[in-house]
Structure 1
Amino acid sequence: MSGFEFHGLTASFKGQRVIGPLSLRVNSGEHVALVGKSGAGKSTLIKVLYERLLQQASLVPQGLGLVNALPVFHNVFIGQLDQHPTWYNTLTLIRPFKNDKRTVKALLSELDIAEKLWVPAAALSGGQRQRVAIARALYRQAPVLLADEPISALDGPMAHLTMKLLTERFSTSIIALHDVEMALTYCDRIIGIQGGQIALDEPAKNLAASDIMSLY
């Protein structure tokens, strides 16, 4: 994938425009942080981009999208659901294949939750649930990551480990982040959203945290 470009992106909620119209180009290999205060339109922009990219993107939504009744293994496996025939998915629900179990467990090990493999998602803490959604996105192996506050429930060391993992495994990413320092550390381009418009678009190396705080 050589990157993507969209023009005239818009989104409305209850008849009121939340995003745009705005244009956005992301080159292959870029790691982009979306920053801005709550309600600025970051989550909506992630959703709009996902609707357009679909099969080319792995998504970590802010609500995580886990199935509470299913164990962690199946919540991660859902990331590749559309890559297998129905019979394979049905059989996996009853008795997962060894290869899939091995791959999912290895991902969970990297996120320090391998012991939760067969625990229902409903029984997990907020941080554990977030890591399951991240594992699902990694398992999907799409070329682009779209993530909405993927580290909000993680402590410092785990947040750093997770951001490192995400930016290493995905060649291109757009990640909405509240933590400005994390954005500057792990992303090479910062896009500031204000009132549903792009108010800032600069390489991270050209910015300090104080340059971004005016958006909050």
Structure 2
Amino acid sequence: MPPSSRSPAIWICWSNLLQLLDGADLGYGGAPVLSGVRLHVAPGERVALLGRSGSGKSTLLAALHRAALARGLRVALVPQDTALVPQLSALRNVLMGRLDDHGAWRNLRTLIRPAAPDRAAALADLARVGLTPEADRAVEGLSGGQAQRVALARAIHRGGDLILGDEPLSAVDPRQAEALAALIRGAFPTAILALHDVAIARAFATRVIGLRQGAFLFDLPVAELDAARIEALYG
């Protein structure tokens, strides 16, 4: 749980407590969105960020992404807009999850004509999200839910210490969302996801953070998320 100090900070705990941002107001274009935030995330935690649109979830995830990269952690990211290349196939978008592991010539060759082991690995990750039939189809021809699953397959293909997801399950139906949340839980040791579905958050997370109007309304173990807190968050 966060310490009692109220000084502005965002922290992430990895093995030992590491200070990543201290005294920073977070926002866009000089307009603060979050102030006085103090956050620890321990290895093995699954954190769900809850709150209405505009509450600061995306701002917090962006700050955590920058901070984790600065500490040398391998991070898999599922942004809200998926950040896929629409003209490329689902398979090639998945392969892009590992582009920064190799040099430019290897990456160019992979995107033009993937080696058999690379293709097989990407196909396996597409199969995990139920998209094998769409592997060679351009992303621009996929539905929103299918594109979101491609973005998740890309993150799984990348792997890492941590996955950060900004509404990564918002475009799929509840049944699929449950299965994909379980997939994320099994694929990454630590996760921080902004979620819109409280039921999915309860099933997935070990800890929930509620944000409202640029502030933390609560930060607690998922077992303590009751109806009164949900009403206070969304009511």
1:148 aligns with 2:166: yes
**Alignment partner for residue 186 of structure 1, among 200, 204, 221?**
204
The structural deviation recorded for 1:5 is 5.0
**Alignment partner for residue 103 of structure 1, among 114, 121, 126?**
121
1:206 aligns with 2:219: no
Q: Which has the higher contact order (CA 8 A, sep 6+)?
A: 1
How do residues 1-216 of structure 1 correspond to structure 2 at under 5 angstroms?
2=15, 5-6=19-20, 7-54=22-69, 55-216=73-234
Q: TM-score, normalised by structure 2?
A: 0.87
Structure 1 residue runs of 4 or more that deviate by more than 3 Å after TM superposition: 3-9
Q: Is the 8 A contact 2:161 2:189 kept in 1?
A: yes
Q: Which amino acid aligns with 1:72?
A: A
Q: Which amino acid aligns with 1:18?
A: V
Q: Where in structure 2 are there 5+ consecutive unaligned residues?
A: 1-13
The structural deviation recorded for 1:102 is 0.7
The structural deviation recorded for 1:212 is 2.2
- The percentage of aligned residue pairs carrying the same residue is 40
Q: Is the 8 A contact 1:5 1:26 kept in 2?
A: no
> How far does the alpha carbon of each residue in 1:126-148 deviate from its partner, in whole angstroms, 9 at most, with x for none?
00000000001111111101001
The structural deviation recorded for 1:211 is 2.1
Q: Is the 8 A contact 1:9 1:23 kept in 2?
A: no
> How far does the alpha carbon of each residue in 1:53-86 deviate from its partner, in whole angstroms, 9 at most, with x for none?
1352110000110001111111111110000122
Describe the SS at the equivalent of 2:37: strand
Describe the SS at the equivalent of 1:25: coil
Cα distance in 1 for residues equivalent to 2:221 and 2:153 = 28
Aligned-residue RMSD, C-alpha = 1.5
Q: TM-score, normalised by structure 1?
A: 0.95
Aligned length: 216
Describe the SS at the equivalent of 1:32: strand
Cα distance in 1 for residues equivalent to 2:103 and 2:230 = 46
Q: Is the 8 A contact 1:30 1:173 kept in 2?
A: yes
Q: Is the 8 A contact 1:190 1:203 kept in 2?
A: yes
> How far does the alpha carbon of each residue in 1:159-202 deviate from its partner, in whole angstroms, 9 at most, with x for none?
11100000111110000011111111110100111222222010
Cα distance in 2 for residues equivalent to 1:162 and 1:99 = 25
The structural deviation recorded for 1:41 is 0.4
Cα distance in 2 for residues equivalent to 1:209 and 1:96 = 50
Taking a change above 3 Å as real, the CA distance of residues 40 and 206 of structure 1, as seen in their structure-2 partners, is same
Taking a change above 3 Å as real, the CA distance of residues 92 and 166 of structure 1, as seen in their structure-2 partners, is same
